[in-house]
A and B are shown apart, each in its own frame.
Chain A
Amino acid sequence: MNATLTSPQSQTPTLRNGSHRVSYLTPLANILETADGYVLEAEMPGVNKDGLEVTVENRELTIIGRRAMTERNGREVYRESPASDYRRTFELDPSIDTAKVTAKMEQGLLTLHLAKAESVKPRRIAVNG
């Protein structure tokens, strides 16, 4: 390896006992509320849907994105992009119906649709009389 310039994020810190701590990058995220749920977007360049793991457990949503093994062509001259995988956990509001989570992965951008449970949606009550 010659003239390798790695970004500091890609270095895995070594603990005193010699074991490596797995370091993850926190993907940048946007969360917005819509009429029937929430939309969560997370940026994970280099990850395709095969490297994606979305889990919901105890009202906790965990996103893990593993970079696709792209063959790096030739010798590295300059590098800024981190080599680490992505991981982030979100706490879900009790109003979210965890059975209705849909995910889409497009050009390194994960979009999750989190639907609100039917019981919390505003409902018009007809008044008799």
Chain B
Amino acid sequence: MSITRYQTPELSNWSSFDRLASFRDEVNRLFDFSWPSRDSGLFSGWSPALDVSDDKDAIFVNVELPGMKKEEINLTLHNGALTVSGERKQERAAEEGETFRSERYFGKFQRSVTLPAAVDASKVSASYKDGILTVELPKAEEAKPKQIEVGVS
């Protein structure tokens, strides 16, 4: 048995900044100028947008990770929490020329989400398309909704 303490991945959720983010988008739209977005780490490093949805059989987690290679993305499932981490590396060719604008974030990121139901860890699958990572986590049998017949006498 391992006695290493499991470190809860930092949840970088700055919901109070969402209002500010919305204002930032308005300013960007007016001046056609991009201020560092929530994604580019003004406060907490790169925090890619994450969505969760579910149906009766599975939970789906989508993460926006544009311009990565699938080998650079890591997924772990631990204690009912899914962690997506990785590192986006700047391509060598990009370092050679003079930079005029640098808004994209390079470096490490980590997002964690507590799953809303128990999942079958052996059946988890993931795909990466158009810069969006989609993780499908089938729900464990006991977490699926069941119809119970109630006899009315």
Contacts and interface: CB of A to CB of B under 8 A. Distances in A.
Interface of A: 7-9, 23-35, 38-39, 41, 43-48, 68, 70, 72-82, 88-89, 106-109
A4 B147 CA distance: 25
Given A30-B102, A33-B98, A39-B94, A80 B49 contact: yes
Interface residues of B, number: 51
Interface of B: 18-19, 21-22, 25, 28-29, 32-34, 37, 39-40, 49-56, 58-60, 62, 64-69, 93-94, 96-105, 113, 116, 128-132, 136
B126 to A, nearest CB: 14
B53 A76 contact: yes
Contacts of B34: 26-29, 88
Main secondary structure, interface of B, reads mixed
Contacts of B136: 73
B104 A77 contact: no
A46 B132 contact: yes
Given A9-B25, A78-B113, 20 more contacts: A30-B104, A31-B99, A31-B101, A32-B97, A32-B98, A34-B93, A35-B97, A41-B67, A44-B131, A46-B131, A74-B54, A74-B56, A76-B53, A77-B59, A78-B51, A78-B52, A81-B49, A81-B64, A88-B32, A107-B129
